[in-house]
Amino acid sequence: MSTSKVKILGINGSARHANTELAVKEALKAAKGMGYVETEYVSLGDYKLVPCTGCMKCFGFQHPAGEGLKCYEFHDDSEILLHKMHECDGLIFGAPVYVVGVNALSKILMDKASMFGPMSFTRYCGGMRQKPLGVIAVGGGDSGGQEIVGLEIRTWAHALGMMTVGPWPTREDPNPQCSTYGAFPTTTDAVNVYAKNGITKEATRTSPPTQGSRNMRSIRNTGRHVAHAAMVLAMGKSMFKESGLKEPDMIPFPRYSVKPKPGSWIQKLIDEGKVQYVPKGKNLK
**Lowest mean pLDDT across 47-56, 153-162, 212-221:** 47-56
* Averaged pLDDT, 111-123: 89
* Averaged pLDDT, 269-279: 90
Spatial separation of the C-alpha atoms in residues 129 and 90, rounded to whole Å:
10
The answer on 177 and 39 residing in a single domain is yes
* Averaged pLDDT, 259-264: 80
Give long-range contacts, CB 8 A cutoff, 24+ apart: 267-271. 267/65, 268/65, 269/121
- The values of phi and psi at residue 104, to 5°, are -60, -40
What are 60-69's pLDDT values in tens digits?
776 665 567 8
Contact between 32 and 266 under an 8 Å Cβ cutoff? The reply is no
pLDDT at 214 over 70: yes
Q: How many CB atoms lie within 10 A of CB 226?
A: 34
Spatial separation of the C-alpha atoms in residues 75 and 25, rounded to whole Å:
28
E-assigned strand segments in the chain: 6-12, 37-43, 90-96, 132-138, 163-164, 255-256, 276-277
Does residue 98 lie in a domain region? yes
Greater pLDDT, 64 or 271: 271
Contact between 227 and 8 under an 8 Å Cβ cutoff? The reply is yes
Residue 262 contacts by C-beta under 8 Å, 6 or more apart in sequence? none
Average pLDDT of the chain is 92
**Which among 183, 217, 223 is positioned nearest to 20, based on CA atoms?**
183
- The values of phi and psi at residue 23, to 5°, are -65, -45
| pLDDT at residue number 175 | 96
The answer on 281 and 171 residing in a single domain is no
The answer on 242 and 119 residing in a single domain is yes
Q: Is the peptide bond before 208 cis (omega within 30 degrees of 0)?
A: yes
**Distances in whole angstroms, Cα of residue 168 to Cα of each of 124, 132, 255:** 31, 14, 44
SS3 (DSSP) at 264: strand
What are 18-30's pLDDT values in tens digits?
999 999 999 999 9
Does residue 1 lie in a domain region? no
The answer on 228 and 278 residing in a single domain is no
The residues with which 136 forms a beta bridge, in sequence order, are: 94, 183
Count: domains in the chain:
2
* Averaged pLDDT, 219-246: 94
- The values of phi and psi at residue 231, to 5°, are -65, -45
| pLDDT at residue number 116 | 93
| pLDDT at residue number 1 | 44
The answer on 178 and 127 residing in a single domain is yes
Contact between 112 and 49 under an 8 Å Cβ cutoff? The reply is yes
The answer on 121 and 184 residing in a single domain is yes
Range of the domain at 206: 6-252
**CATH number of the CATH domain containing 167:** 3.40.50.360
The answer on 135 and 15 residing in a single domain is yes
The answer on 282 and 170 residing in a single domain is no
| pLDDT at residue number 66 | 53
Element (H, E) at 211: helix 210-242
Task: Please give the single-letter amino acid code of residue 202.
Answer: E
Does residue 62 lie in a domain region? yes
The answer on 277 and 233 residing in a single domain is no
